[in-house]
Structure 1
Amino acid sequence: MRAAHTHSRTLLHADLTANPREAWGWHGRTLGAPVTTAEGPAWLRVASAPTDQIIDTFWNGTIEAQRSLPPSIPRPKLLRWHDWTDRTWTYRSELHEYVNADTLAAHAVVTTPPSIPSPWWTAARTALKTIATVNTTRVTIQPEFLAWAMPHYLDISASDHTRHPWTTAHGDFHCANLCAPELHILDWEGWGLAPAGYDAATLHTYSLLTPATSADITRELAHLLHGAIGRYAELTVITELLHAATNGTTPALAEPLRRRAAAILAQR
Structure 2
Amino acid sequence: MGRVTPQPVVDLRRQPVDDVLDRVEQGLGTRLERSTMVRKRRSVGVRTERDTWVRVERRAAGRIDGQGWNGTEAAAALTGVAMPQWLAGLAWRAPDGSAVWRADETTLLPDAPVKPAGGTLTAAPTLPDSWWRTLNSSLDALARAATTRVATPDTVTITQEGVTSLITDAFGAAVDTTVERWHPAHADLNWANVTGPTCCLFDWEDWGAAPRGLDAASLWAASLAVPELAGRVRYERRADLGSRDGRLMMLFACAKIAGPYADVADPKLEPARTAARQLIAELR
TM class by smaller structure: 0.7 to 0.9
| Residues 61 and 190, structure 1, Cα contact 8 Å, conserved in 2 | yes
Partner of 1:185: 201
Which amino acid is 1:54 matched to? I
Provide closer, same or farther for how the CA distance between residues 138 and 219 of structure 1 changes in structure 2, counting only shifts above 3 A.
same
Q: Does 1:120 align with 2:131?
A: yes
Partner of 2:52: 42
Distance 1:57 1:242 in 2: 31
Aligned length: 258
| Residues 217 and 246, structure 2, Cα contact 8 Å, conserved in 1 | yes
Deviations 1:65-117 (A, max 9, x none): 12x312x2111111111122332232112111112311111147321211110
Distance 2:142 2:20 in 1: 32
Alignment root-mean-square deviation, CA: 2.5
Question: Secondary structure of 1:238's match?
Answer: helix
Bigger helix fraction: 1
1:10 to 18, 21, 26: 26
Correspondences of 1:155-174 after superposition (within 5 Å) = 155-156=172-173, 159-162=176-179, 164-174=180-190
Q: Does 1:195 align with 2:211?
A: yes
1:199 deviates by: 0.9
Which amino acid is 1:121 matched to? W
Distance 1:249 1:193 in 2: 32
Q: Does 1:77 align with 2:93?
A: no
Distance 2:252 2:31 in 1: 42
Partner of 2:9: none
Provide closer, same or farther for how the CA distance between residues 217 and 16 of structure 1 changes in structure 2, counting only shifts above 3 A.
same
1:217 deviates by: 1.4
Provide closer, same or farther for how the CA distance between residues 263 and 248 of structure 1 changes in structure 2, counting only shifts above 3 A.
closer
| Residues 57 and 138, structure 1, Cα contact 8 Å, conserved in 2 | yes
Q: Does 1:65 align with 2:82?
A: no
Unaligned runs of 5+ in 2: 1-16, 152-157
Which amino acid is 2:241 matched to? L
Instruction: Report percent identity of matched pairs.
Output: 24
| Residues 187 and 208, structure 2, Cα contact 8 Å, conserved in 1 | yes
Which amino acid is 1:134 matched to? A
TM-score in terms of structure 1 length: 0.86
Q: Does 1:145 align with 2:162?
A: yes
Question: Secondary structure of 1:255's match?
Answer: helix
Q: Does 1:98 align with 2:91?
A: no
Question: Secondary structure of 2:192's match?
Answer: helix
Which amino acid is 1:265 matched to? I
Unaligned runs of 5+ in 1: none
TM-score in terms of structure 2 length: 0.81
| Residues 54 and 103, structure 2, Cα contact 8 Å, conserved in 1 | yes
Distance 2:270 2:18 in 1: 36
Partner of 1:135: 146
1:58 deviates by: 7.7
Q: Does 1:32 align with 2:41?
A: no
Q: Which moved more, 1:143-152 or 1:57-66?
A: 57-66
